[in-house]
Amino acid sequence: MADASPTAPAARSDRRPEAAIVIPLYNEATVIGGVISELLQHFERVICVDDGSTDDSAEVAEAAGARVIRHPHNLGQGAALQTGIAYARVQPGVRYLVTFDADGQHRVVDALAMLDLAEHEQAAIIFGSRFLDDRTKPGLAKKIVLKTAVAVTNLTTGLTLTDAHNGLRVLRVDAAHAVNLKQDRMAHASEIVVQLGKSGLPWREFPVEVLYTDYSKAKGQSLLNSINILVDLVIN
């Protein structure tokens, strides 16, 4: 990676060169450093899109060795994800994109396993799902929000997913080119499924564990925000 900072770990042969990690980043200075360090042990390219953080998230991410792209001001997670995808999908040597959350709720082993699955099954899209097994334990309110999101997404996309708003996904480059998110805020999670579904490319779901720490719980989606998601999806 041309822009690796001096503090980045030395290049290791077992790091995956064909996949780029894409992380939308907004005010996660306390956790993002750890997330990136762990990812860099397994991946060569970690791309962070700093969405106008008001803390020093961008500096921390850069110091940890990520390629940081900065939005001039806060636009929303969907906008940051789209910027990251647009950048990553044209990087030479990149064949897969992995979207990853900044708050440390995803497990790197899941991302690696999803990449292997995409490779072995020639699938262009792997959706992470926390509902395929019972490792993940969301609270009741969260379960209602997430299950409603799944129902609405399935209704509008024709795909039958078990989890809609999961930030961990693997996109082959051709699938990444089918993505053009217009929803700047949380509704992008449904929009990306719609666009990927329309691409007609082969997809799979993969059971992942979502780690609900006190930190990620405090930042999570509220019941009321699901109303925003619904309205954003219906009205353009």
Partner 1 sequence: MWFQIILIVALAGIAVYLVRSTPSPRHLAIRRLLVLLALAAGVVAVLWPGLLSWLAALVGIGRGADLLFYLAIVAGLIYVVNEYKRSVQLTRANTQLAREIALTEARLTDRITELEERLAAKPSA
Q: Which residues bind partner 1 (CB under 8 A)?
A: 2-3, 49, 67, 69-73, 75-76, 79, 82-83, 86-87, 182, 184, 234-236
Minimum CB–partner distance for residue 183 and partner 1 (Å): 10
Are the CB atoms for 45 and 16 separated by under 8 Å?
no
* Rounded Cα distance, 233 and 214, in Å: 29
Choose between 110 and 184: whose C-beta lies nearer to partner 1: 184
Choose between 64 and 161: whose C-beta lies nearer to partner 1: 64
Minimum CB–partner distance for residue 5 and partner 1 (Å): 11
Choose between 90 and 141: whose C-beta lies nearer to partner 1: 90
Minimum CB–partner distance for residue 235 and partner 1 (Å): 6
Query: 126: closest CA among 18, 204, 207, 19?
Result: 204
SS3 172: strand
* Rounded Cα distance, 135 and 211, in Å: 9
Minimum CB–partner distance for residue 150 and partner 1 (Å): 22
Choose between 93 and 139: whose C-beta lies nearer to partner 1: 93
Give φ, ψ of 7 to 5 degrees.
-80, -5
Are the CB atoms for 88 and 20 separated by under 8 Å?
yes
